[in-house]
């Protein structure tokens, strides 16, 4: 899966994070001129393999003047806006969420209006929909129930409105569950994999809630297609596998693939008060419009992910990552 990005100026926000780092790596493979925006204190360990292939602009998207100076130097043709606050459930500060997710997005659009940007690729979230009981299509009413979901919903709405005013093509991909290499250790799959590799107890909830998990490279394929399709503008797409399973299904699969005969400690962690129980995306739109399909199946993606953590476990020991 590739697009025509050779020699294009690409800007990735949130590139120090899980999804953003994969976007940056893919764009380097596409022979693009890649620049990233990272805060002064951001750890760029996820970008070690491509560190000499990218330009780093140390600023914060909440600071318009510094951000604008970066944009004017980079003059991006494409922007992949992956920066967000609240993806980590431990990030709960309302003001920081609003300033980063909403004001940061507004700052980007304000600066890009003068920079000749061709297309703005925006990462949305299933949390924008809230806890729907039915299969969710893109025209569902947005009913977020936490600060992350509400600020992401506001960012999506504002980004599309401002892009229209600025004459910038825009596509938002609302992602459901994503997994893959170099996720943080507190996330679902890394928590299990790293615990088993270290011989630690695997503490979990009862794992009766449902999730749609899709391997990261499938998600990046979606962004590449959305960026490459010149007819695709002002569109919002759900992206996920389209299939949901209870979390204990995924737990069993990890144990099986890692050939581990121990048992997880189900119920050791209580459910969250605002737990999402069955987010089920309708992915018909992205299939029909962009001809996107998740090419790497769940089990293959998990095998790739497990193998990566086995090779890179030292990146997590004693680091708090």
Reading the chain (321 residues) residue by residue, the pLDDT tens digits are 566 899 899 999 999 999 999 999 999 999 999 999 999 999 999 999 999 999 999 999 999 999 999 999 999 999 999 999 988 777 889 999 999 999 999 999 999 998 989 999 999 999 999 999 899 999 999 999 999 999 999 999 999 999 999 999 999 999 999 999 999 999 999 999 999 999 999 999 999 999 999 999 999 999 999 999 999 999 999 999 999 999 999 999 999 999 999 999 999 999 988 888 889 999 999 999 999 999 999 999 999 999 999 999 999 998 889
Residue 119 resides in a domain: yes
Residue 222 resides in a domain: yes
29 and 160 share one domain: yes
Compute the distance between CA of residue 175 and CA of residue 121 in angstroms, rounded to an integer.
13
228 and 268 share one domain: no
Q: Which pLDDT value is given to residue 320? A: 82
Compute the distance between CA of residue 206 and CA of residue 89 in angstroms, rounded to an integer.
18
Q: Which pLDDT value is given to residue 2? A: 63
Q: Which pLDDT value is given to residue 316? A: 95
40 and 154 share one domain: yes
Q: Which pLDDT value is given to residue 90? A: 77
201 and 112 share one domain: no
125 and 259 share one domain: no
17 and 90 share one domain: yes
Q: How many CB atoms lie within 10 A of CB 288?
A: 9
93 and 220 share one domain: yes
Q: Which pLDDT value is given to residue 91? A: 83
18 and 110 share one domain: yes
Q: Which domain holds residue 99?
A: 9-178+213-239
- Is the CB of residue 269 less than 8 Å from the CB of residue 204? yes
- In this structure, what CATH number is given to the domain that contains residue 248? 3.90.25.10
| SS3 call for 196 | helix
Residue 85 resides in a domain: yes
Compute the distance between CA of residue 186 and CA of residue 192 in angstroms, rounded to an integer.
9
Q: Which pLDDT value is given to residue 151? A: 97
Q: Which pLDDT value is given to residue 89? A: 73
89 and 229 share one domain: yes
75 and 23 share one domain: yes
273 and 168 share one domain: no
193 and 57 share one domain: no
- In this structure, what CATH number is given to the domain that contains residue 217? 3.40.50.720
Residue 321 resides in a domain: no
Residue 292 resides in a domain: no
- Is the CB of residue 98 less than 8 Å from the CB of residue 151? yes
Residue 288 resides in a domain: no
Q: Which pLDDT value is given to residue 1? A: 58
């Amino acid at each position: 899966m590739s697009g025509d990005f050779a020699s294009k100026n690409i800007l990735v926000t949130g590139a120090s994070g899980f999804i953003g780092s994969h976007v940056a790596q893919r764009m380097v493979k596409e022979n693009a001129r890649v620049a990233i925006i990272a805060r002064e204190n951001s750890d760029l360990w996820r970008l070690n393999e491509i560190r000499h292939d990218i330009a780093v602009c140390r600023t914060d998207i909440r600071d318009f003047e510094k951000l604008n100076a970066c944009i004017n130097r980079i003059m991006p043709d494409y922007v992949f806006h992956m920066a967000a606050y609240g993806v980590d459930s431990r990030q709960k500060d309302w003001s920081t969420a609003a300033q980063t997710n909403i004001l940061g997005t507004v700052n980007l659009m304000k600066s890009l209006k003068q920079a000749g940007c061709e297309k703005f690729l925006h990462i949305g979230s299933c949390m924008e929909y809230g806890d729907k009981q039915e299969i969710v299509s893109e025209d569902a009413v947005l009913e977020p129930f936490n600060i992350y979901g509400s600020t992401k919903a506001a960012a999506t709405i504002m980004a599309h409105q401002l892009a229209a005013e600025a004459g910038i093509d825009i596509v938002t991909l609302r992602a459901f569950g994503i997994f893959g290499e170099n996720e943080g250790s507190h996330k679902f799959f890394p928590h299990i994999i790293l615990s088993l590799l270290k011989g630690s107890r695997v503490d979990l909830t009862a794992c009766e809630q449902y999730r749609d998990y899709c391997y990261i490279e499938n998600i990046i394929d979606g962004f590449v297609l959305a960026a490459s399709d010149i007819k695709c503008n002002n569109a919002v797409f759900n992206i996920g596998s389209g299939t949901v399973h209870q979390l204990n299904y995924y737990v069993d699969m990890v144990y099986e693939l890692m050939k581990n005969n121990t048992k997880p400690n189900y119920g050791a962690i209580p459910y969250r008060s605002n737990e999402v129980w069955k987010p089920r995306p309708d992915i018909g739109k992205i299939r029909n419009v962009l001809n996107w399909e998740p090419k790497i199946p769940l089990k293959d993606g998990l095998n790739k992910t497990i193998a990566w953590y086995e090779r890179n476990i030292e990146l997590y020991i004693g680091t708090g990552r």
